[in-house]
């Protein structure tokens, strides 16, 4: 099993360099098609929402719009060049698309047509004043999302993987989606946080992992004085893990995505790349 079609969110900032390097490494290993996507804003919403601009002459408004379009084009070119350099260093190829960033719909649609989506915690639109959160994409895409921290250098296939396990559909989906990573990992640890002691490992999960040829260490944490997010961060540091696999919990309330507590805590500032599934 592998991811044959990968979508990567790229912007013009320096933070994209590490994300591009990781995505190229993974695509090269799996012989995947890698497609970089850049979120473009047409700027019209911000332009006409500003009361001061509403009184400008038509030619001045058009000049502002033209200047903004040129700035967005330049940003897209910088983002594409960032991915091109990473691909050339690895002798890899990629495809490139500039999509509408004035709503979440275009990025979600692209993610639904890929095996894996790689992005930062928030994908910013260039000069658009808005962003698409990884949580929104993960809850809506129907597939796995690899969320890469803005800080740090992440290269190559993760060697030490921590799985945050809970007996839920979301955890099971994340585990199944993670096999391309787990098959290549040197160490795999399953973490169960159960303050009551009622939801520890029952043996089925360990045998399931063994049938895949994956030797797994299971850790049950009975801490009841700290949050699950803090327990996971502590274990990531102790194991020197370079990937966390976890279910993504959330729901839509009116037009707002409401995340579960652990999902919100981990996605806000992920300590390592997170592979999430809903």
pLDDT of residue 7: 97
Rounded mean pLDDT of the chain? 86
> CA–CA separation, 122 vs 137, rounded Å?
10
pLDDT of residue 200: 58
The mean pLDDT value for 213-234 works out to: 85
The mean pLDDT value for 93-109 works out to: 94
The mean pLDDT value for 210-227 works out to: 84
Q: Which of 29, 18, 134, 32 is nearest to 83 (CA)?
A: 18
The mean pLDDT value for 229-244 works out to: 93
Burial class, 100, CB count within 10 angstroms (exposed 0-12 / middle 13-18 / buried 19+) = middle
pLDDT of residue 57: 79
Whether pLDDT at 42 is above 80:
no
Whether pLDDT at 6 is above 90:
yes
> CA–CA separation, 10 vs 67, rounded Å?
22
pLDDT of residue 50: 53
For the chain, give the DSSP string: ----EEEEE--SSTTHHHHHHHHHHHHHHHT-EEEEEEEE---HHHHHH-HHHHTS-HHHHHHHHHHHHHHHHHHHHHHHHHHHHHHHHHT---EEEEEE-SSSHHHHHHHHTSSEEEE-SEEE-BTTS-EEEHHHHHHHHSS-EEE--SSS---SS-SEEEEE--SSHHHHHHHHHTHHHHTT-SEEEEEEE-TTSSS---SHHHHHHHHTT--EEEEEE---SS-HHHHHHHHHHHHT-SEEEEE--EEEETTEEEE-HHHHHHHHS-SS-EEEE-
pLDDT of residue 256: 46
pLDDT of residue 201: 59
pLDDT of residue 102: 86
Whether pLDDT at 180 is above 90:
yes
- Taking the CA atoms of 135, 139, 141 and 142 in sequence, report the sign of the dihedral they define: positive
Tokens matching residue 23: 């995505």
The share of the chain scoring above pLDDT 90, in percent, equals 57
Burial class, 220, CB count within 10 angstroms (exposed 0-12 / middle 13-18 / buried 19+) = middle
Other CB atoms within a 10 A radius of the CB of residue 95 amount to 11
Whether pLDDT at 71 is above 60:
yes
Other CB atoms within a 10 A radius of the CB of residue 202 amount to 10
240 band by pLDDT with thresholds 50, 70 and 90? very high
Please name each of the domains of the chain with its CATH number.
Answer: 5-147 (3.40.50.620), 160-277 (3.40.50.620)
pTM (predicted TM-score): 0.89
Whether pLDDT at 203 is above 50:
yes
- The pLDDT tens digits for 120-156 are 999 988 766 788 889 889 999 999 999 999 887 788 8
The mean pLDDT value for 172-196 works out to: 91
Tokens matching residue 82: 């960032």
């Amino acid at each position: 099993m592998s991811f044959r079609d990968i979508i990567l969110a790229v912007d013009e900032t320096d933070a994209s360099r590490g994300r591009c390097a990781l995505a190229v490494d993974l695509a090269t290993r799996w012989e995947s098609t890698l497609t970089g996507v850049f979120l473009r804003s047409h700027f019209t919403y911000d332009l006409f929402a500003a009361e001061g601009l509403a009184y400008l002459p038509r030619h001045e408004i058009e000049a502002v719009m033209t200047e903004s379009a040129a700035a967005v084009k330049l940003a897209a070119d910088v983002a594409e060049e960032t991915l091109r350099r990473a691909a050339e260093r690895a002798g890899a190829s990629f495809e490139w698309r500039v999509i509408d960033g004035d709503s979440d719909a275009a990025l979600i649609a692209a993610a639904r047509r890929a095996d894996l989506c790689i992005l930062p915690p928030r994908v910013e639109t260039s000069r658009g004043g808005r962003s698409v959160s990884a949580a929104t994409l993960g809850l809506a895409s129907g597939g796995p999302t690899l969320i890469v921290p803005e800080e740090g250098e992440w290269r190559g296939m993760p060697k030490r993987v921590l799985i945050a396990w809970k007996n839920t559909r979301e955890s099971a989906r994340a585990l199944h989606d993670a096999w391309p990573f787990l098959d290549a990992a040197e160490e795999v640890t399953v973490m169960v946080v159960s303050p009551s002691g009622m939801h520890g490992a029952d043996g089925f999960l360990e045998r399931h992992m063994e049938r895949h040829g994956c030797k797994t260490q299971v850790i049950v944490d009975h801490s009841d004085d700290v949050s699950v997010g803090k327990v996971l961060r502590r274990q990531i540091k102790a194991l020197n893990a370079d990937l966390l696999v976890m279910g993504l919990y959330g729901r839509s309330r009116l037009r707002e995505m409401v995340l579960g507590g652990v999902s919100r805590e981990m996605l806000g500032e992920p300590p390592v790349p997170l592979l999430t599934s809903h």
